């Protein structure tokens, strides 16, 4: 039991667990922001075109059972907006990381002189020696 508890303490003390906990907390706050974006801005704008404010109100009844398919559509829509926003954030973050990690570009070495250029350099050097 002591070995188990020691392993558990070691697991909890790792940085990854703390990072994950921070991610979950920020994710919860981010969910609230995204839900507000959808419910307070996007859905009223869509309501102009669809004639209703929310998909959640859509339903039909069969033998007394209410099938609220609008809730499902709303949940899928919320997921797609959330996924799109997270995709954009990750793409932006990755772009910043790439810019930081790019090594400075080195200038290419000058090309090797051709045989004709080498011959002309030898002639030049010989002429300088004669003077």
For the chain, the domains span 2-104
Superfamily of domain 2-104: Large-conductance mechanosensitive channel, MscL; domain 1 (1.10.1200.120)
Distance CA 56, CA 70 (A): 4
pLDDT of residue 109: 80
d(CA 101, CA 126): 49
Distance CA 46, CA 39 (A): 10
Q: What count of other Cβ atoms lies within 10 Å of the Cβ of residue 7? A: 10
pLDDT digit string (tens) for 64-95?
898 988 888 888 888 888 888 778 888 888 88
Q: Is 62 helix (H, G, I), strand (E, B) or coil?
A: strand
Q: Tens place of pLDDT for every residue, the chain, 131 residues?
A: 888 888 877 777 776 777 777 788 888 888 888 888 887 888 788 778 777 666 777 888 899 898 988 888 888 888 888 888 778 888 888 888 777 666 667 778 888 888 888 888 888 888 888 87
CA dist 117 and 112 (Å) reads 10
């Amino acid at each position: 039991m002591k070995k188990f508890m020691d392993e558990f303490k070691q697991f909890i003390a790792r940085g990854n667990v703390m990072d994950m906990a921070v991610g979950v907390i920020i994710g919860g706050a981010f969910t609230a922001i995204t839900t507000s974006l959808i419910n307070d801005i996007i859905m009223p704008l869509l309501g102009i075109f669809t004639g209703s404010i929310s998909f959640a109100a859509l339903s039909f009844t069969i033998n007394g059972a209410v099938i609220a398919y609008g809730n499902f559509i709303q949940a899928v829509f919320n997921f797609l907006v959330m996924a799109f926003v997270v995709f954009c954030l990750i793409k932006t973050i990755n772009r910043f990381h790439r810019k930081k990690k790019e090594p400075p570009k080195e200038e290419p070495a000058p090309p090797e002189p051709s045989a004709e250029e080498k011959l002309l350099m030898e002639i030049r050097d010989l002429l300088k020696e004669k003077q």
